[in-house]
Amino acid sequence: MHQNPTRSWRLALAVYAQPRVFGMLFLGFSAGLPFLLVFSTLSAWLSDADVDRSTIGFFSWIGIMYSVKVGWAPLVDRVPLPLLGKWLGQRRSWLLLAQCGIAVALLLLASVTPQQDLLMFAGYALLLAFASATQDVVIDAYRIEAVAREYQAAMSASYILGYRVATLASGAGALYLADTLDWQAAYLIMCLFTLVGIVTTIVIREPQRHIKTETQLNEERLAHDISVALHAGGLWGRVTEWFATAVICPFTEFFHRSGKTALLVLLLIGTYRITDITMAVMANPFYLDLGFTKSEIAGITKVFGFFLTIGGAALGGILVMRYGIMRILLLGSVLVIISNLLFAGMTIIGPDITALALIISADSLAGGVATAVFVAYLSSLTNTAYTATQYALFSSLMTLFPKILAGFSGVVVEQFGYFTFYIYSSLLGLPALLVIVYLLRDKSGSESN
């Protein structure tokens, strides 16, 4: 990506006036709407229906759909949909199909209760998660292909704003509706909100995909070599060629393009968010153990957290426009580590509401900047020939190791206490920080040569 360090602040701010950047706000809303309806909001419905806690725990496995979406991302990349594909194009047709799948799944969930048929209820929830994960794949691909890479952080910031508004609607909003009406009515009303994404998909323009000649030649060469090696011909030969170009090529192309830094890049992807994901698991228990009330926690984390995260994401988009991705990626890493260390200080200060507000503000701002620039970084790593597949791979890797490690957070707290836990979770961010410094130096050295 061409980076212009002298870009004026005025031009950097103007990025949010771009029509596609603004449109990303509504696609972000569409992506965020079903997420909590599969997780915490669904768990609240199950709990309200007196479903036992172990069964509610098993329902969380539905979320694995979001981690294995790379499995069907090649289909989204390469398989055109009949009729819809001719009308809307490759990306928008898949997006509309996924959004209609979300709407249907919400309607089905609104038609049954856990008490009536728990197995069928679980099946509808699984359909919702599958359609939602598919929508994520398509929106990520659209976001990367719709604008130049220098606009990716701004697209991410706009997406995050829409996503956060949607989670307020599907979280607090759905709970309020369930309390005043009932759960089925709440999910039915959430289904109506899917119209935001559906209308947006119809209105926006299909992005232009530019596939390099070199990429096409490499695909043909690899497909031919695999077919020859397997002695594949006829229908089997065509299936083999498709598998080679749609599934194998996205991986080989990334390693070929990244060269000696490929493994370092994958290490960075797998560790960049490790600090905030690890600490997030124990956040609410920490606040409660410190002595804050549930109302204080909700007021500070929801209000301050919401607006400061959005502000941080917007700031991240502006900074990337002005200074480029890598330097702001380094800044985001440093900010997350520092803000996490502030929580260690909170263990000494105690339940001071002002201190909590300041620390939550700093943490949310840092998280917003880091998230926006990291999404821009992941986007810059993709080849437009395999946008959906490669980004799905990166986003899955982004959370896999941190989520596994986060499972041991409670053990660390029980053994060593919160102060040590926050020092430990901050130190987990150092590998990503060191990798970024190395990549920056390696890039500077390459440019000087």
For the chain, which residues make up each domain, given as ranges?
9-209, 213-255, 259-449
Nearest partner of 305 among 278, 287, 321, judged by Cα: 287
The per-residue pLDDT of the chain, averaged, comes to 84
* Domain range 259-449, CATH class: mainly alpha
Most confident of 12-21, 100-109, 317-326: 100-109
Q: Which residue has the higher pLDDT, 444 or 67?
A: 67
Q: Does residue 219 surpass a pLDDT of 80?
A: no
> What residues have CB less than 8 Å from 212, skipping those under 6 apart?
383, 385
Could you read off the pLDDT of 234-282 as tens digits, one per residue? Answer: 666 666 766 667 677 888 888 888 888 889 999 999 899 888 888 876 7
Same fold, 9-209 and 259-449: yes
- The predicted-structure confidence for 172-182, as pLDDT tens digits, reads as follows 788 889 888 99
What band does 64 get if pLDDT is binned at 50, 70 and 90?
A: confident
Of 126-130, 255-259, 269-273, 422-426, the least confident: 255-259
Q: Can you say whether the dihedral through the CA atoms of 63, 40, 27, 397 is positive or negative?
A: negative
- Token readout for 69 is 């979406």
CB atoms under 10 Å from CB of 405, counted, come to 17
Highest mean pLDDT among 62-76, 123-137, 214-228: 123-137
Measure the CA–CA gap between 298 and 308, rounded to whole angstroms: 15
User: What's the whole-number mean pLDDT along residues 12-30?
Assistant: 83
Q: Would the pLDDT of 97 be above 80?
A: yes
Give the integer Cα–Cα distance in Å for 15 and 151.
Answer: 7
The pLDDT, as a whole number, for residue 434 is 95
The reported pLDDT for the residue numbered 100 is 98
Measured in whole angstroms, the distance separating CA 361 from the mean position of its chain's CA atoms is 21
DSSP 191: H
pLDDT at 226 over 70: no
pLDDT number for residue 105: 98
Residue 1 has pLDDT above 60, yes or no: no
Q: Report pLDDT for 222.
A: 66
pLDDT tier for residue 26 given thresholds of 50, 70 and 90: very high
Distance CA 442, CA 139 (A): 32
What is the structure's pLDDT at 2?
45
Rounded mean pLDDT, 21-31 = 94
Tokens of residue 440, six digits: 């920056």
Share of the chain above pLDDT 90, in %: 35
Q: What is the pLDDT of residue 123?
A: 96
Can you tell me the mean pLDDT for 128-150? 91
CATH for 9-209? 1.20.1250.20
Within 10 angstroms of residue 64's Cβ, the number of other Cβ atoms is 12
Min mean pLDDT across 42-56, 192-206, 349-363 is at 42-56
Whole-number pLDDT of residue 211: 65
List all residues 6 or more positions away from 98 whose beta carbon is below 8 Å from its beta carbon.
Answer: 131, 132, 134, 135, 138
Is a pLDDT exceeding 50 seen at residue 143? Answer: yes
Least confident window among 39-53, 148-162, 239-253, 262-276: 239-253
The answer to whether 410 and 324 are in contact (CB under 8 A) is: no
Lowest mean pLDDT segment, chosen from 59-68, 93-102, 164-173, 306-315: 59-68
pLDDT band (50, 70, 90) for residue 3: very low
CA pair distance 142, 135, nearest whole angstrom: 10
Q: Distance between terminal CA atoms of the chain?
A: 18
Residues 6+ apart with CB under 8 A from 82: none
pLDDT of residue 186: 93
